[in-house]
Structure 1
Amino acid sequence: MITVNSKLRGLNLFFNKLQKKIGGTLKVTSNEQFLKINNNIGKGTIRSINLDGGISLLEFNITPKEDLKIAVDAKAGTHINFVYCSKGKISHSFENNATKNTVETFQTSIVSNIVSEENTITLYKGIETSSTIISVNTADDNSQQTDINNLLKDAFIAGKTKDYIYLGSYNLKIAEHIKQLKSIENKGVVRALLTKGIVNLILGLEIEQHKKDINSNANSNGSLTQNEMELIKELTDYVNNYPDLDHKINVLTRKIGLTAAKIQEGFKLMHGLTVCEYIRSVRLKKSEELIINTDLSISEIVYSLGFSSRSYFSKRFREKYNCSPRDYKKKNKLAMTA
């Protein structure tokens, strides 16, 4: 096992020490640190982003060749960490506490440092892991963020006398937004704005999931196993990549080998929608993209995406976008020529 300990305030100093310990190539910009390694310790990347309002992001995309334990500073009574694992698993423990809590694939978790000033993250040998930790410093006095930080402090710090960790439910929507976060190629101000927007959205989904868990007193993945959840993720990607195909439930069951009930349970858990509702939402989103970005007629779009009829498509499109597809197309053409 390799252990990286740090009592250094600030991510720049932390990454310098991390590089000295595990090697790799470090690239630093005004608000990002990016460490890439491919050696006897592991292969992958570790990235951090500093954002306004006391928010920072720490992202692991790495396959260690031996267990890797990394200690990250936190200020007691002010820091809240929202932990999510897109792939693999990670474990968390507080300073001077041997108890490890494991965050599995697609699982949400919230960590508040009440008395300790260090979080230890363990990445496991041979397990390809993608994990994102969004840290909020509730003591930050940024005027635009103060109200939100105060609400977070009231929810996850105030009144607590011990370090707090909440292992929540499984949420696939967050994985999709993290994928968007990783795909941002813009530079400068545009990059910063897009990053902040997606990070805020992920924070909102984490908090919403926690609220649902508390209200329903259900913070598990029901009867689904971890492998079954990964199959549901594969099925979700398949629907998104091929929205035009005939996704009847019996076809989907044969594709991944799960029962119709398991698939419905998985889609409800991960998307809050039935399979039919999710397929329709994907097709409507794709239809909007085609209306805006192509010269295809409405009829061509309808039948290219597998809708049963133009009238049915128009009805569902109006429900979602508050206007007909034809009017939507006209409005976008006017906007582009204005």
Structure 2
Amino acid sequence: MKTLHINSSSIVKTFGQLKEQLSASYKKCFKEHCLTFDNEIGYGEVRGVLLKNNISYLEFNVTFNEDIALNINTNISKAVNIAYCSKGKIAHQFTKKNKKTTLEPFQIGFMSNITSSKNTIYFKKETNVIVTLITAYELTASVKKNTVHQELFETFVKNKKENNVFISSHNLKIAEKIEQVTKIKEDGVMRSLLIEGIVHMVLALEIQQYKRDLKNSKQPTGSLTLREMQEIKEISTYIKNYPERATTIEDLCKKTGVTSSKLQEGFKLMHNTTVNDFIRTERVKKSEELIKNSDLNISQIVYSVGFSSRSYFCKIFKQKYNCTPTEYKSRIKLAATA
């Protein structure tokens, strides 16, 4: 097993240390740091940004050629670490005296440092792992009250006397939110603001999940197995990329091997909507992109995104954008010539 070390709470020093140990290339775009590597250690990418209120966001999309232990020592004993696996799994341990805790895909791990500042994350070799790690450090005088940061500390640190870890039940919605970070196309200040907004939404969902689990309410994943959740996540991505190809629920069931009832259950959990409504929404989104960025006329766009009725398309487009497709196209042209 190879051991990597992070010996700082500073995002700059964190990436400096990982750069050397991974023999990675480094770049910084505004406030966001990025490492990429492809060598004898493995391959992948590590991204990170320091947000307001002493909150850091790290995302690992990595495949290592040998088992890896990532030792993190921030030298700050009061901190809340929240890990979420979108793909693969990791294990966590405060120190060698503590037992390891495994984090499966779509689970949230809440690791609170109370008496020490050490955490170790374990990666299995030859396994693609996508994991995000959000860390909130101890409150300072500059942090305003009624923030997500304060709620984190009141929930996971206040009145706690020792390090503790809590593994939640599965949550599909968070995977979708985290994917939005990787799809942000804007640069600079706009990108930084969008990342911060999404991270705060993720934190809110994670806290909500923690409180729901504590109340012992019905498990939010219902009867879905891990494989079924992975299939639903993959078919959601497929629909987003090719909404015109998603014809019927029966076809999607054949593609995934998931029953129609499980498919509907998964979409309700992940997207809070039905399969058909999700397909319809993605088709309208793609039509809006085509209106802006192609020379196709409205009728051509209607059929290219999978609709068979122009009048129906115009109706639901207006519901979403508060204007007809033709009016929208005219506004785009007017804005381009202004």
What is the CA–CA distance in structure 2 between the aligned matches of 1:246 and 1:44, rounded to whole Å? Answer: 31
Counterparts in 2 of 1:158 and 1:325: CA distance versus 1, 3 Å = farther
2:41 and 2:64 in contact (8 A); partners too: yes
Percentage of matched positions with identical amino acids: 43
Verify: 1:76 aligned to 2:82, yes or no: no
Verify: 1:44 aligned to 2:68, yes or no: no
For structure 1, list consecutive stretches of 5 or more residues without a partner in the other structure: none
Show the counterpart of 1:25: 24
Counterparts in 2 of 1:239 and 1:28: CA distance versus 1, 3 Å = closer
Show the counterpart of 1:278: 278
- What TM-score does the superposition give when structure 2 sets the normalisation length? 0.83
Question: SS of the residue aligned with 1:170?
Answer: coil
Post-superposition offset of 1:32? 4.5
1:24 and 1:35 in contact (8 A); partners too: no
1:138 and 1:152 in contact (8 A); partners too: no
Verify: 1:139 aligned to 2:139, yes or no: yes
Counterparts in 2 of 1:72 and 1:145: CA distance versus 1, 3 Å = farther
- What TM-score does the superposition give when structure 1 sets the normalisation length? 0.83
Counterparts in 2 of 1:253 and 1:115: CA distance versus 1, 3 Å = same
Letter in 2 for 1:227: R
What is the CA–CA distance in structure 1 between the aligned matches of 2:295 and 2:216, rounded to whole Å? Answer: 46
Counterparts in 2 of 1:250 and 1:291: CA distance versus 1, 3 Å = same
1:95 and 1:116 in contact (8 A); partners too: no
Post-superposition offset of 1:63? 1.4
Question: SS of the residue aligned with 2:244?
Answer: coil
Counterparts in 2 of 1:293 and 1:208: CA distance versus 1, 3 Å = farther
What is the CA–CA distance in structure 2 between the aligned matches of 1:19 and 1:90, rounded to whole Å? Answer: 21
Counterparts in 2 of 1:48 and 1:242: CA distance versus 1, 3 Å = closer
Question: SS of the residue aligned with 2:56?
Answer: strand
Counterparts in 2 of 1:256 and 1:157: CA distance versus 1, 3 Å = same
Letter in 1 for 2:72: V
Post-superposition offset of 1:121? 0.8
Question: SS of the residue aligned with 2:116?
Answer: coil
Post-superposition offset of 1:68? 0.8
Show the counterpart of 1:92: 92
Question: SS of the residue aligned with 1:273?
Answer: coil
What is the CA–CA distance in structure 1 between the aligned matches of 2:212 and 2:300, rounded to whole Å? Answer: 40
What is the CA–CA distance in structure 2 between the aligned matches of 1:12 and 1:159, rounded to whole Å? Answer: 32
What is the CA–CA distance in structure 2 between the aligned matches of 1:290 and 1:247, rounded to whole Å? Answer: 20
What is the CA–CA distance in structure 1 between the aligned matches of 2:6 and 2:305, rounded to whole Å? Answer: 53
